[in-house]
């Protein structure tokens, strides 16, 4: 059974809207190696686990639970990058706003035939404005919808662990590439966190394989470079974010029997399982977007919403 608390797993830095940054971040949400995939893959592997290798099942499921919170985090980050971007004219704007868009949007969007969304046809993914209300979609950076065929759960423990290690490494590789594509602070705060967490997940699956006898020599982490050269990642690594694993279980976990002791990277560091959940960060409401008819409440409907809110 699953539960929720109204906290983001990591805070998101404020910066200006940027639909191109939002679009590349979609790869981390709905891409073949993104958070929706890791979430569903680890949940299926743990629901389908055979035999009684409980610490291994708990490790896989523990990472899987965390990934639901990553889906929440990256969706929210994309929302912040898109919100208001159609009328945005600041430093990250690739093209100059023209005509109606250059003026303040009227109270009634489109009234008199104005075009408050006239930047949208030139956005990398116009669905962010036509299908979604300047919000994230379950698609990748090329607009392909997420597919159930991504999920890998062979039932063979060694194989599942090896796939997961490769999956986290690819996720980290792609996020490092995305990091080098944009210095938007909103994007960077989440990408840096996910680089550190994918690092920890790599270690988790590598450690599980090490416990079965593999010695990784010097090939880990993958990609094999010092991510602390990225300032935003360095701050998190200095806190050891890439070496810790929470289990997100309300009734305990045996994950810690595997994820403890020497790092499988063989660099002298140590990994550690935390019993307590991270503190988390507050979630802000997204403002209304009348030009998207979202939430689209008229004065009459708003009055009813207020009546509901006053209840009890």
**Nearer to a copy of itself by C-beta: 165 or 196?**
165
**Nearer to a copy of itself by C-beta: 16 or 44?**
44
Residue with tokens 């006239």: 118
Give the shortest CB-119-to-a copy of itself separation in angstroms.
Answer: 8
Residue 47 three-state SS: helix
Among left, alpha and beta (phi > 0; psi -120 to 50; other), residue 269 is beta
Determine the Cα–Cα distance for residues 51 and 264; give it in Å rounded to an integer: 25
Give the shortest CB-23-to-a copy of itself separation in angstroms.
Answer: 7
**Nearer to a copy of itself by C-beta: 132 or 243?**
132
**Residue 28 C-alpha from the chain's centroid:** 6
- Residue 290's alpha-carbon distances to 133, 169, 287, 294, 296, in angstroms, are 10, 41, 10, 6, 7
Determine the Cα–Cα distance for residues 52 and 49; give it in Å rounded to an integer: 8
**Nearer to a copy of itself by C-beta: 35 or 243?**
35
Determine the Cα–Cα distance for residues 70 and 43; give it in Å rounded to an integer: 14
Give the shortest CB-240-to-a copy of itself separation in angstroms.
Answer: 19
SS (H, E, C) 85-141: HHHCCCCCCCCCCCHHHHCCCCCCCCHHHCCCCCCHHHCCCCHHHHCCCCCCCCECC
Give the shortest CB-160-to-a copy of itself separation in angstroms.
Answer: 8
Side-chain-facing half-sphere of 73: CA atoms under 13 Å: 28
Give the shortest CB-265-to-a copy of itself separation in angstroms.
Answer: 12
Give the shortest CB-88-to-a copy of itself separation in angstroms.
Answer: 15
Give the shortest CB-243-to-a copy of itself separation in angstroms.
Answer: 18
Residue with tokens 């950076």: 141
Give the shortest CB-89-to-a copy of itself separation in angstroms.
Answer: 16
Determine the Cα–Cα distance for residues 276 and 252; give it in Å rounded to an integer: 10
Element housing 271 (H / E): strand 270-274
């Amino acid at each position: 059974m699953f539960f929720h608390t109204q906290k983001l797993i990591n805070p998101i830095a404020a910066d200006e809207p940027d639909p191109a940054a939002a679009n590349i971040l979609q790869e981390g949400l709905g891409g073949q190696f993104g958070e929706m995939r890791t979430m569903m893959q680890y949940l299926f592997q743990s629901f389908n686990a055979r035999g009684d290798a409980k610490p291994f099942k708990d490790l896989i499921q523990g990472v899987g639970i965390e990934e639901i919170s990553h889906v929440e985090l990256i969706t929210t980050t994309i929302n912040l990058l898109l919100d208001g971007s159609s009328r945005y004219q600041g430093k990250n704007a690739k093209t100059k706003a023209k005509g109606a868009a250059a003026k303040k949007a009227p109270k009634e969007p489109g009234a008199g035939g104005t075009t408050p969304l006239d930047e949208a046809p030139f956005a990398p993914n116009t669905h962010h404005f036509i299908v979604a209300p300047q919000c994230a979609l379950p698609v990748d950076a090329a607009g392909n919808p997420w597919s159930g065929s991504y999920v890998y759960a062979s039932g063979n423990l060694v194989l599942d662990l090896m796939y997961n290690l490769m999956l986290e490494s690819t996720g980290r590789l792609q996020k490092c590439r995305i990091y080098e594509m944009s210095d938007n602070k909103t994007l960077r705060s989440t990408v840096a966190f996910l680089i550190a967490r994918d690092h920890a997940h790599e270690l988790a699956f590598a450690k599980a394989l090490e416990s079965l006898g593999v010695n990784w020599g010097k090939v880990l982490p993958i990609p094999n470079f010092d991510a602390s050269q990225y300032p935003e990642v360095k701050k998190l690594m200095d806190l050891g974010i890439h070496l810790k694993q929470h289990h997100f279980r309300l009734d305990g976990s045996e994950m810690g029997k595997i994820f403890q002791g020497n790092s499988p990277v063989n660099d002298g560091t140590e990994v550690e399982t935390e019993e307590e959940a991270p503190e988390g960060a507050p979630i802000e409401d997204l403002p209304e977007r009348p030009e998207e008819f979202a939430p689209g409440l008229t004065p009459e409907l708003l009055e009813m919403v207020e009546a509901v809110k006053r209840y009890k």
